[in-house]
Amino acid sequence: MTETAPPLLIPAAARIQPAGHQSPLPADRIVHSGNAGFIQLRSAQLRYGLRRDGRAYLTEVARFMNRADLNSASFFYFEELFGRNDRAHFLISWKSPQDYALSVEMVDHDTEMADLLESDRVTDEAGTGDWAKTIVEASMQERVMIPQHGGPEPEDGEHPHDDTWVEPAWRQCVQPPEVQLNTATAPYVVHRAVQARHGFRNEARAFAFAWQNRVNELFAGSVTCYLYEETFGRMDQLHWLIHLRSLEDWLRIERLADHDAQYAELFTRQWIRAGRGGGIWADAFVDGTLHDTLLVPFQIPAEA
């Protein structure tokens, strides 16, 4: 008689909590992908043999930085799902670069921060070491993204972003603010990056907004997309953060062209005018540069 594995019953409490659980701030104060003036994407590869120590250290960092309340900035710790094992990601949302300067000041003068950076965090056969021992050398990378300008004009004509560096991404979105998902409220976040061809940068952005708008129109309450561009990095590198209520919602997007003519037309439309040689959406982007990374919030246990 062939044995079969028992069914896996996952209690509701064990399901993925959105990253907002990592912050002690009230939900209406948290800076996230929707209301941030700029976002740092910081990633690093944990050494396999020290993954437990690495996660424990990054959990301490997330707790400390979120508790520090740097003008409500959020330091959300994510991991890749169905990607590179033990690849850690921080999505750090700031209102302005001035707030980032507060964190630099902490590195130089805060004693608890100094302890995080300098004290021994691991012990193995080679001895003890600080946090850097848990990370693969040269694997730590950073990108800076700002919400893409030039999207749909808000119906009220207002631009209330006096306290953010640029107009926040939620203003791009056709969904009512109360149903928009973001890095604090979505259990799954897809980071999509693609390189626009420099000569067709305007056409690439036009397609990016049109794609995003249609998805946001059809999936309000389940999916929210925001568009960003990289700054202080690769020119014309575009980024979406696609916030999902469930993985099934991603499959619905993947199959959408089979069911929605307006969405399907985006992929056959001539985005590049004939006078410039003509071309569909794909001709505005560099082949092979479209990359998706599925991120889930690291589940940080409540402090005793």
* pLDDT exceeds cutoff 90 at 14: no
Q: What is the tens place of the pLDDT at every residue in 233-276?
A: 999 999 999 999 999 999 999 999 999 999 999 999 999 999 99
pLDDT of amino acid 96: 94
Query: What's the pLDDT band for 182 if we cut at 50, 70, 90?
Result: very high
- How far is it, in rounded angstroms, from Cα 63 to Cα 76? 9
- How far is it, in rounded angstroms, from Cα 157 to Cα 174? 14
Of residues 303 and 193, more confidence is placed in 193
Judging by DSSP bridges, how do beta strands 122-124 and 141-147 pair with one another? unpaired
pTM over 0.85: yes
- Return contacts of 254-263, CB within 8 angstroms, 24+ apart: 256/215, 256/218, 260/214, 260/218, 262/214, 263/214, 263/215, 263/218
Question: What one-letter code names the amino acid at 231?
Answer: T
- Kindly list the structural domains of the chain, giving each domain's residue range(s) and its CATH number in brackets, ordered by start: 18-143 (3.30.70.100), 148-296 (3.30.70.100)
Q: What is the tens place of the pLDDT at every residue in 189-239?
A: 999 999 999 999 999 999 999 999 999 999 999 999 999 999 999 999 999
pLDDT of amino acid 117: 87
* pLDDT exceeds cutoff 60 at 152: no
Q: What is the mean pLDDT of residues 168-190?
A: 98
- How far is it, in rounded angstroms, from Cα 209 to Cα 172? 9
Query: What's the pLDDT band for 158 if we cut at 50, 70, 90?
Result: low
* pLDDT exceeds cutoff 70 at 4: no
Query: What's the pLDDT band for 19 if we cut at 50, 70, 90?
Result: very high
* pLDDT exceeds cutoff 90 at 13: no
Which 3-state string (H, E, C) describes the chain? CCCCCCCCCCCHHHCCCCHHHHCCCCHHHCCCCCCCCEEEEEEEEECHHHHHHHHHHHHHHHHHHHHHCCCCCEEEEEEECCCCCCEEEEEEEECCHHHHHHHHHHHHHCHHHHHHHHCCCEEECCEEECHHHHECCCCCEEEEEEECCCCCCCCCCCCCCCCCCCCCHHHHCCCCHHHCCCCCCCCEEEEEEEEECHHHHHHHHHHHHHHHHHHHHHCCCCEEEEEEEEECCCCCEEEEEEEECCHHHHHHHHCHHHCCHHHHHCCCCCCECHHHCCECHHHHECCCCCEEEEEEECCCCCCC
Q: Whose structure tokens read 């050398």?
A: 137
Q: What is the tens place of the pLDDT at every residue in 91-133?
A: 999 999 999 999 999 888 889 988 888 888 776 665 678 899 9
Q: What is the tens place of the pLDDT at every residue in 128-149?
A: 788 999 999 999 999 999 999 8
* pLDDT exceeds cutoff 60 at 159: no
